[in-house]
Every structure is written in C-alpha cells, then in structure tokens.
A = this chain, B = another copy of it.
C-alpha cells in the first residue's frame, strides 16, 4: 500500500466551509439523538423521514434538483454544462444503528451537500452533472441484509424482492414502510450510466487515527457473508423438566456462539465473526426456550478463505445442534465478495490529497458500504477520515471537525476534476 510522498499543493477548486459542514452534522444528529450522545435513526422510521425531510430542504435551498427513486433513494442533482452526461455521484446513508453515532453515513451525505454548497458559493460550473445521494437503509437493522437500496441500484438485487423484504417482527415490509414515510418515489432505481461514485466515510476502524493520517484512499473492502440461524428445541417448565430431558434452544445457541468465536481464531489473518442480534422465544424467565434465532456476520479480505470459513461454520453449527438434539435452520441472508475499487478513482483521491497538500495512505475497508455495491456498476472510490480510537456503531463514535473538513475538500476536488470544470 502506498502512502503520500510529497505532492505539490495547489489551490482548491472551491472553498469548503468546515463550520457549515459541522453545523449540518450536528443539526442532523439531533434527529434521533440518544441519551448516550449518539443517534438512533432506524431506516424507514418516522425519525428517518424527519432526517430525509431536513436533507431535502437543504438541497432545495441549494437549488439542487431532487428526485426520489423506487427504493426511496434521494438523488439531489447539480446540473452540469452537459446536462445529459452521466453524473459524478457521491453520498452515503442517513439511517443509523439503534445506538449509532453522529457520523457513520451522515458524514458522507452532508460532505456531499457541502461540496454542492461550496461550488455554488464559488460559482463553479462542472461539465458533467454532480449528484449527492441518500441511499435507503444501509445499516440493515430492521430488514435483513444491509445496503439493499444501493444493491438494487447496482442490479445486484431485484426491486420487487427488496420492496417485499419483511421487517424483523414480520409485521411490515420495506415497501410498506417506504410508502408510510412518503418516500416511495417513482424514479427508476438504477439501469443508467454513472460516470463515477465517490463515498466519504469515517474509517470506523483504528488505522488512520493511530497513524495520525487525515486521509485514507480506500483500495477495497473485505468480503462478507451474513446468516440467520434458528435453533429449535422444546419449551418446558423451568422448575419441573429434568436437565437430562431438556432440548434447550438457549443452551444450544450459546454453545454455537462460543464455537463461532473460537472458529475466528483458526484462520490467519483472523476473519471477524459476530453475533449481534439474538431473539429468544418465548423469552420468559421460567420457561425453557423453545427457539432462539441469531445472526452471524462473517468477513474476510480473501474470498477463498471466506469460502473455507463458510464450510467450517456450517459444520460447527450442525455438530452442536446434533449433539444437543436440537433443530437447526441456517439461512444465508447476504453474501458479498471482496471488493476492489476502481484504480482511477483511488488515484483520483490520492491526487486530490497531493494537490491540496494533505497526507494520505492507502487503506482497506473492514466495513461494507453502499460504495461496495456501486462498484459493480460504476467506477467507484472511497475517502476515509479518522474517527477517534476507531470506535463506530457506538454512541461514543467521534470525529474531529478539521478531519471532516479535509475529507470534504478531497471529495470536492476529486468530483469536480472528474466531472471537469469550465
């Protein structure tokens, strides 16, 4: 991986207003603010709608053309002098984890907005149109599988199938919730040429913060497989059913989760394997659980190793279920091979940093992003900025205003030069 060498600083295409960007982030973070200082703005909830409405109002003030597509993605366009040219896009998501932070997703969206505002202020016109996009439901908390709306845009997932996705409680669907919050737009989702997609994000990992490097040029993202496991035993009275006659789904699930954790240490480099979601049925203190459902999120940068992990994981679950006399149902809810971003886009990020005299380094993404889907249908790159101690998906997620502004400057430079200025 390369790190920045020297690079001659040259003037920016337009001046980013770091204070304005920070103020927008803080105002957005009030919608769904949690007592612990984070944000809980789950996809397609009333709070998500409020966040979208705020963003749309800002876009309209900035004279952007706003369209909503069939997946509820918001596309805000700044026309170019060649209005029919494929757009240069940026963006990210406004939905968060239940106890998420202020920056994951919102930074990429509002950095995109700041690019538009800064170009407006400087009266810079681009040849190709620019767009800032809010992708629906990146986090995948309520509906199985994350980043489904960008997956549909990229042609990786069917529109009808995505709209029919049930929520975790099985009481509603993606499409119903989209209509409920008024973001069931009629613009087509995907199927059109995109000149390039650049996504700005906090790293959500410790590398840049530890190195003191303000910019990461992202080379790609590790592969990911997600599963939903249902362990079925037999309910019974906690006081009366002898231990040796039980088929306890909770004990079985516990053994599986411990075994999956151990499995991660059997590969080099370690994959990350996580059970973040678990639900017990009937979830009553004095009833032996009859059914436990839990998620597995497994990621590794090497696809062949990922395939080996998949096989081992299936074997470990089956063995544990068989030994405890439990039923096992394993559903792979999503799978994404490792992503390699477009070399020209990666270079555009490095070049922008060099031009602006900002230190950068190449970096891999541990997390998945909408950009991983966009990479399937357009030249794509990402810009990372540091977050404190690499903490993310946590109310304590934090990032420094100067780093966020720097990332936005790189984004503006890369997009404007890719689109061409007049």
Contact = CB atoms under 8 A, between A and B. Distances in A.
A297 B205 contact: no
How many copies of the chain does the oligomer comprise?
A: 2
A104 to B, nearest CB: 8
B286 A274 contact: yes
A366 interface: yes
Q: Which of A224, A286, A295, A365 has the most CB of B within 10 A?
A: A286
A272 B242 contact: yes
B272 A276 contact: no
Nearest to A391: B236
A256 B275 CA distance: 16
Contact of A285 (B243, B277, B365): B277
A140 B286 contact: yes
Contacts of A409: none
Majority secondary structure of chain A interface residues (helix, strand, loop or mixed): loop
Given A205-B241, A285-B295, A392-B240, A250 B265 contact: no
A98 interface: yes
Contacts of A99: 235, 281-282, 287, 290
Contacts of A277: 280, 283-285
A397 to B, nearest CB: 9
A5 interface: no
18 contacts: A97-B282, A97-B284, A97-B286, A99-B287, A140-B285, A146-B286, A204-B239, A222-B239, A236-B391, A239-B272, A243-B270, A243-B273, A244-B270, A250-B278, A254-B257, A274-B286, A277-B280, A287-B394
Interface of A: 97-99, 139-141, 146, 203-206, 222, 224, 226, 234-244, 248, 250-251, 253-258, 261, 264-265, 270-290, 295, 297, 299, 365-368, 390-395
